[in-house]
């Protein structure tokens, strides 16, 4: 039972303390624990080259034998972290809120996950077995929910690429200067509970795992996220009255509460099958573009027109 704590906060700041408190609880429950602070690693931003998905696709289609990994593999510490990350059973992810969102350091880290897609790494044997990871998410901010509006939701959105099931989340509010959290025993007690919840979830058979956080948290009955929007038409025509911005569940309003719409879990990003269907959308978009580029010379001409336009930069 291995639990990895990740902090994207200042060294010895509020996030470090919150994550360490959760890890202490996990350790008390018998877990082996590891703690990293992302400031200690060289993590380059994703270049957006799409080599990972192109190469993974080629392996899947038998066009190449192996997947060499991210093009930045030997240029920074990401591989070193992910090798441990993907062998853990549980995660405690803590991140300070900057401008309502998780800090850019964390997002830079998490947006490199695509090159380490668990389902694919399993398929090609780079990871031996699915650790069926569970996670607890902690956002840490100087203010209340009103100034942390996207924090937990955006952290949640970084979990599905590695098929990590979020079983608990907590927003640490009104802690500003480093160490401020120690005068808030309510916060420390709650993140301690999160550490216990993570071990409880690890010990529960995968199919029986459930949400262990506050039952009334959020609006989505599926993931407990708090961001719901009025549904739009999807690429294949499907439409729900409302959708959860985090997990993608289709929702409807009943007696003032959001409940699952009919077939509402068919786009649940946490389900590998639903995520696989999203890959169909990506491929369909790519094929359509390549086809039109081949058939319609004006497409390439227009792209070149924009390439040639030069404005003064900074």
Ligand X SMILES: Cc1cc2nc3c(=O)[nH]c(=O)nc-3n(C[C@H](O)[C@H](O)[C@H](O)COP(=O)(O)O)c2cc1C
Site size toward ligand X (CB under 6 A) is 19
How far apart are alpha carbons 149 and 271 in whole angstroms? Answer: 25
How far apart are alpha carbons 81 and 42 in whole angstroms? Answer: 10
Of 39 and 221, nearer to ligand X (C-beta) is 39
Choose the stretch contacting ligand X; rule: CB under 6 A; options: 6-14, 108-116, 243-251, 288-296.
Answer: 6-14
How far apart are alpha carbons 191 and 133 in whole angstroms? Answer: 18
Of 55 and 152, nearer to ligand X (C-beta) is 152
* Contact in structure between 233 and 243 (CB atoms under 8 Å): no
User: What part of residues 122-161 is at the interface with ligand X (CB under 6 A)?
Assistant: 140-143, 147-148
How far apart are alpha carbons 155 and 169 in whole angstroms? Answer: 10
Residue number, nearest CB to ligand X: 9
Of 190 and 267, nearer to ligand X (C-beta) is 190
Q: Is 99 in the site for ligand X (CB under 6 A)?
A: yes
How far apart are alpha carbons 259 and 51 in whole angstroms? Answer: 39
| 30-62 burial code (b ≥16 CB/10 A, e <16) | ebebeebbbeeeebeebeeeebbbebbbeeeee
User: Which helix H or strand E contains 187, and what residues bound it?
Assistant: helix 185-203
Report the residue from 34, 59, 60, 100 that binds ligand X according to the rule CB under 6 A. Answer: 100
x-marked contacts with ligand X along 202-241 as a string, rule CB under 6 A:
----------------------------------------
User: What part of residues 15-44 is at the interface with ligand X (CB under 6 A)?
Assistant: 15
Q: Is 5 in the site for ligand X (CB under 6 A)?
A: no
Report helix angle 185-203 to 14-28, nearest 10. 40
Q: Show Cβ contacts of residue 257 under 8 Å, excluding neighbours closer than 6 positions.
A: none
Q: Is 104 in the site for ligand X (CB under 6 A)?
A: no
CB of 102 to ligand X, least distance (A): 10
Interface residues with ligand X (CB under 6 A)?
9-10, 13-15, 96-100, 140-143, 147-148, 175-176, 178
């Amino acid at each position: 039972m291995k639990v990895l704590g990740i902090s994207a906060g200042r060294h010895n700041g509020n996030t470090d303390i919150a994550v360490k408190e959760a890890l202490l609880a996990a350790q008390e429950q018998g877990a082996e624990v590891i703690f990293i602070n992302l400031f200690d690693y060289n993590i380059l931003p994703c270049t957006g080259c799409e080599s990972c998905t192109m190469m993974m696709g080629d392996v899947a289609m038998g066009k190449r034998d192996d997947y060499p990994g991210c093009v930045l593999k030997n240029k920074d510490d990401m591989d070193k972290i992910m090798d441990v990350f993907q062998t853990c059973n549980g995660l405690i992810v803590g991140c300070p809120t900057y401008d309502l969102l998780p800090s850019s350091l964390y997002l830079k880290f998490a947006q490199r996950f695509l090159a380490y897609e668990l389902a694919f790494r399993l398929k090609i044997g780079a990871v031996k077995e699915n650790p069926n990871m569970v996670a607890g998410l902690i956002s840490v901010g100087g203010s209340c929910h009103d100034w942390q509006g996207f924090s937990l939701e955006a952290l949640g959105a970084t979990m599905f690429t590695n098929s990590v099931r979020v079983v608990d989340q907590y927003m640490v509010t009104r802690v500003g200067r480093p160490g401020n959290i120690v005068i808030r025993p309510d916060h420390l007690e709650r993140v301690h509970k999160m550490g216990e919840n993570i071990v409880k979830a690890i010990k529960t058979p995968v199919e029986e795992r459930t949400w262990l956080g506050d039952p009334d948290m959020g609006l989505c009955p599926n993931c407990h996220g708090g961001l719901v929007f009025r549904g739009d038409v999807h690429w294949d025509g499907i439409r729900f009255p409302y959708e959860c911005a985090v997990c993608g569940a289709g929702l409807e309003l009943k007696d003032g509460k959001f409940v699952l719409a009919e077939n509402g879990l068919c786009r649940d990003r946490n389900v590998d099958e639903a995520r696989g269907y999203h890959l169909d959308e990506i491929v369909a978009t790519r094929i359509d573009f390549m086809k039109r580029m081949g058939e319609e010379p004006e497409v390439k001409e227009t792209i070149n027109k924009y390439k040639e336009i030069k404005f003064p930069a900074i």
